Structure 1
């Protein structure tokens, strides 16, 4: 861009460099691990072969879907040979028709379109309204999050290219012509006295130039616009700035040897100089004078000057990958970006006729192994790329696309960081549509692709227009049907009837669409686990029992109440709306079990046993730290274990003093228990009691727990705190469905903004004798005093001298004794359940629940995974378990007589 001088009545015209209102600003990113140091060679580095590619390098088109008019997602499977083995890799390519007037490319930037902020690609796409996008330029992961390459958005140069060798950019000119080239930045500042000083860049982070290895901001002048979010311009530059604030074309402020406080104003810009540049500012600039600036890009290939306003967009990248339809030489070292390793990759290129852009990602996840840069070159040429460059890859590689008939772009595939692991990056390349509203073209069924037996799921019918953009389908009336009996239409949705796959179809007039839905069966599950592990065994007990299932594909699903059947032992009970209620306890039963079942798959039982109230903390000998925190930061106070007063003068209490007068909005004063960690509460706690010295403040008093997943659970102790003196508060924990093991993290005061003037802002509360009512799990009901004798290879045993026949003899294999567990449990109390589908044995005895699976060394003990040396086996169609493993968990002593091969069990 050239900012020209005008001589009509003044020496210089000041040009505002900040973007116009409504114009997207761009972020530039220097990806992951790029080298910022001198490069020995400017030209080809690490040459790749241009010979014909081997036949085994093949890209197979798996399918495609329109994103919008002029853009579609094409999925490939690329087959290559690596280390002598054939490897199949998944690739996702957005093909953009640059001749289509309704589709555009542009740069997406961090948050709110500003530099020095980072955001996920999905977040940027949704914020900017992009229908698709990928991560963009390389950035210093330890820096401020600003790309090292040039960034142009809608003709505005937001970030100039860094002075680094071999770094290419991709751009689209105003006539929709794609360009891949290397660019330098050149510019100057013209003072009112007619003197000039060169500009070194716009909105750049500090770095070392190549090949000089000079510090970028030493003796140089840069422009920073309101596109730069951070108040540090830049961070860690090793230089002391002299800054000039320009607004309305006139110098408003000059700060010598220090930065101007605050961000760059939206109606101005800041000139930042150091050394010689600072001296120039001191000598030639004065507040009230005018300034003129000229800057442009220069092609390193042709030497031609480039006006940024001639470009719709430009984004920086790394090495050139493809040129003239062939793999090119690398234009800078690639070992710092794992060039020779198979990782996730992102690239962009265009076709020979210049009418098609290819936005490319290579997956690295459980389904795909990624590509080396050399392999990526071959893939790109195989799909028609004429010229292309590498963008940031590895953990940054992310693609989002808007599914047909949907309103927002979503993650296209699982990143190498996992399903929820989108990396926050500095910028991205977005695809946008400017198509008008078209006529309804087609329909699409939308909803869950899997459901459970007994579960009813609603499905919706969505529409898309002639430009493949979503349309409002609220008024579309449809008829729904299934092609078989696996699922059934209920009038409000489809209900899972039995395991299997079905095709559901919606018909509206002449339009219709179908999708496949799978009803999951017991064979699809690897575990079925209620959130509650223990509960109290007494009539009237009521406890929340939501159930989760882990599928064999690794996914976890919440199982709807209607999909679970329950089996009860030792009691009469029922489960309604996810709540287990005990009606009565069987005579003589000290322990009972509630076992969830799904399509023949037995889950982990809930153990119910006698409960007691346990003193969890009386603060007499607490050895962990207690501390105070406040929110907002202006909230002050103290939290400490101190000697009580009055009726508690002989005991210690936890005292929380608070002052909520500072700050605004909702206010909180916390007594932190054991730092930020918390302290473990009894397993299966059903209620909590605590003695509280109230202050009558009318604030709320709460407890915060952290469950096994780290989720915070909030429980109100008093709402409001309307009493003074000591009072025992008791709260029910069952409705909170706390997943154990859980911890109590803090006790605290809540003062909400609404009605704040009606409650006290200062006060003091104390806590003592925190108790939990929980099942007694530490002391097992005593095993009967019994002696059992078995002999390896014999189908009989004796119980206290009485002989009993066995249907399978004990077996010794590889030094391990295996027995039919049923007979052991008959003698000592307990039972074993066999799940034929899952090949799983569930042993229950007292409060112990042991789950063992044939062929697996991992076993579950009271819902916790453990590892054994051996696993259960099947011999002569009988399931045998490792005797010592089971006996140790049940508290039975095992003696082995080698000479007679006699096994003696005693309790």
Structure 2
């Protein structure tokens, strides 16, 4: 949650000296420092579980009014805890919507599973950490984000937090805020709680305690300062040396160890953190006056405190609780949607967002930890929709936890050793938000015997690809167990895959059920061997390469599947066809063995299971000097990151072998700041400078300083995407050295620009590299296809007419087996005859209905019925597309010929076409 702080007028200290309690409250409301609840991070929705039967694959459905809950999957996490995913279908504004929810159902009667609070880093307040890292640190087998907190504050939950009977934080004085707890007998509770406590001095006097480990905030409903005239306890659970920060009050602090006052600091904080074997009493105003009068060093002091239900006034000793975690509004009471207990505007209650909640069943035996996904697969829920979902599957009492961008669930998959993200958060795959605390699930089960197996490995593979599969196991308590001695047998139900003693190898397209058996335990998994019919496209990371015998080029191949997935194709699964040269591909690297006599253009085409991919164009190339800096007129500037990094970038007279030329010199000082450090020489301001199209290599002279830092170049490609290329990693030489780097593996889309050259010192191993130094650059060159690349094709004039199965080429008549066609104002022709005349080739893929046309350095890919086409790997849009008529594929004349550099003249009266090149 977000809290806004404003400071105007007198401090709370100054006001408390002059005004009584009512006048102080009035003045603070008018002009004092206020902390007002403005927004709470969005929430995620949950759904609970009705029954906890054995693991099963069957889908169950629950109907409630117009809503429908479908169980998609369930899996044991540990004995007494299951992860269940649901699809919730509901009506919003007269239309049906769907949301995915994930529920951890915990059996509170199971002696081997426990719930507890996970707090920040190292279990301490005023720190924040992602749910995943908290779970890994504490050994939790599952967890979600917990209580609301001030995102601009120190990272302290607003509600009560109890861990193993110890009160970590007391509840803030805020209206309508609920908490969830579990008593030592396993009974769950959801209620509003207050705090009461007393300090008993050695002289028999007492003073009330207001709270434990609380941040500064505005109390409700009086809108007062939380720490004015109050006394708080701070324990070693509080990490920060500010107790608290930005309170607007001057503290008097008392250090107590072993029940004896060790130090009294009047009107000033005791420096340092709270010791592990003691606590600090923090007082202000009238509380500070009490300390000055009644507490002295060496005196005994005792404190007592308890939680109190604000519903029925019953008291609870924190030591009688296993755990407690705070939350926000009540959502469900006695199996029905409850009225919201505080405003939900600040937590986007009416918006469809990710949400987190917790509740329990009517018999009190099951706790439900609930999240709703808000990502590409699910659209989130409003709070009212969340209530409908919870009640429809039997939640008896439930409350809201922090949500929105904070909503995170981690679970330990069956047979695995560590937790992982259960679903992509609304912040993205890597967007786990650091939060103040979380609700964790823990197992105390002993090691059991082997109960079941689980196959781990890829569910799809390519023909010729061998994939290793692991066998993991779980014991009678559904915890992971070592299977290294299991010695399983493996088999497949058909010949689509074969066992290689290490894994399965794809043999032919289709599905196979693989099974592993060890003793009485076994597991099966269906895997799919992808075929050519599963592919939408097959592309290579390199579009152009130099046509020179002995040259090598990296050729990573990527397949886009018809289901939209993009996957890397292993090199052993790809076959290659070559035109204009002899070549060989080994381990993803193509080597030109020989160039055909007279060839200026050659092609290498990847083929998978009969599916032809986009060819790589090989052409004669030249090395061009891009920048020598002797006559450089582009602006060169220095930029450091972080801001503390300093240095200069300038064009100066060279040294050594380059003493007669000018060079780009980059001086850097990386001693300032923290984290990864960068010293940039920006080229042409921050705009960069265009490099030759389809460049395949970059050469640069570099003056090294043996700093062991990395020296890199940053490009911006046609899509504005940054492309990073290592020049020296690490920089382990001094003096001038000529470096050549391959650009073909960068995946760069042209046209592109070189934006900057720079030095980087990454955090890992930072102390092993020099923080200051100087490097210089000179003679930057690029190797790119020469302008002669498209020569060698015949010059000719060809004429044909719509509806006629003949054409004349340079005055000589030839027969066509299909006539040009005029349809909807577009002329279509058989491309084969055009290429026979003007040079080039075409390949037709009957599976994908795609035709690939190559002529010179131009590769054109068109698909029947699709107006989108690829030109040298880049997507383009046309108004027309190829068609099939009479069993033959015809292409749009003007679109194809103009892209191939062939001139077109259309005679409307005679419906004749003249092509020239």
TM-score (ref. length: structure 2): 0.83
Does 2:871 match 1:861? yes
Structure 2 partner of 1:655: 665
The answer as to whether partners of 2:711 and 2:730 remain within 8 angstroms in 1 is: no
2:742 matches 1:733: yes
CA distance in 2, matches of 1:799, 1:551: 42
1:713–1:768 Cα change, 3 Å: closer
**Cα distance change, pair 264–378 in 1 and its aligned pair in 2 (3 A):** same
**Pick from 601, 605, 615: which aligns with 2:611?**
601
Matched residue of 2:783: which SS?
strand
User: C-alpha distance in 1, partners of 2:396/2:576?
Assistant: 63
- Contact 1:687 1:730 (C-alpha < 8 Å) held by counterparts: no
Q: 2:75 aligns with which of 59, 62, 65?
A: 65
The answer for the alignment partner of 1:721 in structure 2 is 733
Q: 1:425 aligns with which of 418, 426, 435?
A: 435
List per-residue Cα deviations over 1:617-644 (Å, max 9, x = no partner).
32342534432658997x8654433344
Structure 1 regions of 5+ residues with no counterpart?
A: 1-28, 35-51
Indicate if the aligned counterparts of 2:699 and 2:741 stay in contact, CA closer than 8 A: no
Match of 2:265 among 239, 243, 254: 254
* Consecutive unaligned residues in structure 2, runs of 5 or more: 1-37, 44-61
| In structure 2, C-alpha distance between the alignment counterparts of 1:53 and 1:383, rounded to whole Å | 9
Root-mean-square deviation over aligned CA pairs: 3.9
**Cα distance between partner residues in 2 of 1:305 and 1:79:** 42
2:224 corresponds to 1:210: no
Residue deviations 1:114-147 (CA, integer Å, cap 9, x gap): 3344333333222221112222223344554443
Q: Which shows bigger deviation, 640-649 or 543-552?
A: 640-649
Partner secondary structure for residue 857 of structure 1: strand
User: Given that residues 30 and 137 in structure 1 are in contact (C-alpha distance below 8 angstroms), is that contact kept between their aligned partners in structure 2?
Assistant: no
Matched, 1:626 2:637: yes
CA shift, 1:251, in A, is 5.1
Q: CA deviation at 1:463?
A: 1.7
Q: 1:140-165 CA distances to partner (integer Å, 9 max, x unpaired)?
A: 44554443222221122222223322
Count of aligned pairs between the two proteins: 851
| 1:698 to 1:313, Cα distance in 2 relative to 1, 3 A | same
Decide which moves more: 201-210 or 508-517. Answer: 201-210
Q: Deviations over 1:684-739 (max 9, x none)?
A: 65544333445xx654474324577757553437863244xxx34233437x9333
1:374 and 1:762 map into 2 onto residues whose CA distance is 59
Distance 2:176 2:103 in 1: 25
Do the aligned partners of 2:42 and 2:354 also contact (CA within 8 Å) in 1?
Answer: no
Please give the alpha-carbon distance, in whole angstroms, between the structure 1 residues aligned to 2:254 and 2:737.
63
Question: 1:378 aligns to what?
Answer: 388
Q: How much has 1:172 moved relative to structure 2?
A: 0.8
**Residues 372 and 719 (structure 1 numbering): CA distance in 2 closer, same or farther, change over 3 Å?**
closer
8 Å contact kept, 1:534–1:683: no
Q: Deviations over 1:82-127 (max 9, x none)?
A: 4444444433222111111100011223333333443333332222
CA–CA separation in structure 1 for the residues paired with 2:764 and 2:131: 35
CA distance, structure 2, for counterparts of residue 278 and residue 552 of structure 1: 72
Alignment check: 8 A CA contact 1:887 1:893 kept: yes
Q: Distance in 2 between matches of 1:752 and 1:124?
A: 23
Q: Secondary structure at the match of 2:851?
A: strand
In structure 2, the residue matched to 1:5 is none
CA pair 180-906 structure 1, distance change in 2 beyond 3 A: same
Corresponding residue number in structure 2 for 1:408 = 418
Change in CA separation of 1:667 and 1:385 when aligned onto 2, cut-off 3 Å: closer
Residue 481 of structure 2, aligned match among 471, 484, 498: 471
- The answer to whether the aligner puts 1:541 opposite 2:551 as a matched pair is yes
Partner residue in 1 for 2:327: 317
Give 1:171 shift: 0.9
Q: How does 1:498-647 map onto structure 2 within 5 Å?
A: 498-619=508-629, 620-621=631-632, 623-627=634-638, 629=640, 637-644=647-654
Change (3 A) 1:894 1:429: farther
Q: Distance in 1 between matches of 2:760 and 2:342?
A: 59
Report matched runs for 1:209-288 at 5 Å: 209-217=219-227, 220-230=230-240, 233-234=243-244, 237=246, 239=248, 241-242=250-251, 244=253, 246=255, 248=257, 250=261, 252=263, 254=265, 256=267, 264-272=274-282
Q: Is contact 1:30–1:148 with CA below 8 Å preserved after alignment?
A: no
Query: What is the distance in 1 between the residues matched to 2:231 and 2:820?
Result: 86
Does the 8 A contact of 1:453 with 1:563 survive in 2?
yes
Alignment correspondent of 2:34: none
Say if 1:469 and 1:750 are closer, same or farther in 2 by CA, change over 3 A: closer
Counterpart position of 1:99 = 109
Following the alignment from structure 2 to structure 1, what is the Cα–Cα distance between the partners of residues 679 and 204?
63
> How far 1:369 moved relative to its partner?
3.8
CA distance in 2, matches of 1:260, 1:789: 96
* Distance in 1 between residues matched to 2:387 and 2:677, nearest whole Å: 57
1:131 correspondence with 2:172: no
Shift of 1:177: 0.8
Is the 8 Å Cα contact of residues 131 and 438 (structure 2) preserved in structure 1?
Answer: yes
User: Aligned pair in 2 of structure 1 residues 647, 61: CA closer, same or farther (>3 Å)?
Assistant: closer
Equivalent of residue 313 in structure 2, options 303, 311, 329: 303
Distance in structure 1 (CA, Å) of the matches to 2:677 and 2:150: 38
Could you tell me how far 1:32 is from its partner in structure 2? 0.9
| Contact 2:544–2:617 (CA under 8 A) maintained in structure 1 | yes
Alignment of 1:76-115 (within 5 A): 76-115=86-125
Is this contact kept in 2: 1:241–1:272, CA < 8 A? Answer: no
1:456 maps to 466
> Is this contact kept in 2: 1:644–1:653, CA < 8 A?
yes
3-state SS of the aligned residue for 1:444? Answer: strand
- Distance of 2:788 and 2:358 partners within structure 1: 62
Tell me the equivalent position of 1:41.
Answer: none
- Using the alignment, how far apart are the partners of 1:778 and 1:347 within structure 2? 68
Please give the alpha-carbon distance, in whole angstroms, between the structure 2 residues aligned to 1:96 and 1:810.
71
- Aligned mates of 1:223, 1:128 — CA distance in 2: 25
Query: What's 2:22 paired with?
Result: none
SS of the counterpart of 1:122? helix
Against the structure 1 CA distance between its residues 658 and 90, is the aligned structure 2 distance closer, same or farther, given a 3 Å change threshold? closer
Seen in structure 2, the aligned counterparts of structure 1 residues 795 and 429 have a Cα distance that, compared at 3 Å, is farther
Partner in structure 2 of residue 180 of structure 1? 190
Question: By how many angstroms is 1:436 displaced?
Answer: 0.5
**What CA distance in whole angstroms lies between the structure 2 residues aligned with 1:781 and 1:593?**
15
Q: Following the alignment from structure 2 to structure 1, what is the Cα–Cα distance between the partners of residues 243 and 869?
A: 57
Deviation at 1:581, TM superposition (A): 0.5
Cα distance in structure 1, aligned partners of 2:68 and 2:340: 22
Equivalent position SS for 1:504:
strand
Separation in structure 1 between the aligned mates of residue 767 and residue 774 of structure 2, nearest angstrom? 17
- Output the CA distance in 2 between the equivalents of 1:281 and 1:623: 70
Hey, what's the Cα distance between the residues in 2 that align with 1:191 and 1:623?
77
Deviation at 1:587, TM superposition (A): 2.1
Residues 35-82 of structure 1 show CA distances to partners (whole Å, capped at 9, x for unaligned) of xxxxxxxxxxxxxxxxx9854423333442221111122333333334
| Deviation per residue, 1:753-805 (Å, 9 max, x gap) | 99999x99875443222223344479754865444444444444444444444
* 701 and 108 in structure 1: CA distance in 2 versus 1, 3 angstrom threshold: closer
3-state secondary structure, aligned to 1:371 = coil
Please tell me whether residue 885 in structure 1 is matched to residue 895 in structure 2.
yes
Report the secondary structure of 2:220's partner residue: coil
1:334 aligned residue (325, 341, 344): 344
Alpha-carbon displacement from aligned partner over 1:493-548 (angstroms, at most 9, x marks no partner): 10011222111011222322211111222233333222222211110011221222
* Cα separation, partners in 2 of 1:477 and 1:222, compared to 1, 3 Å: same
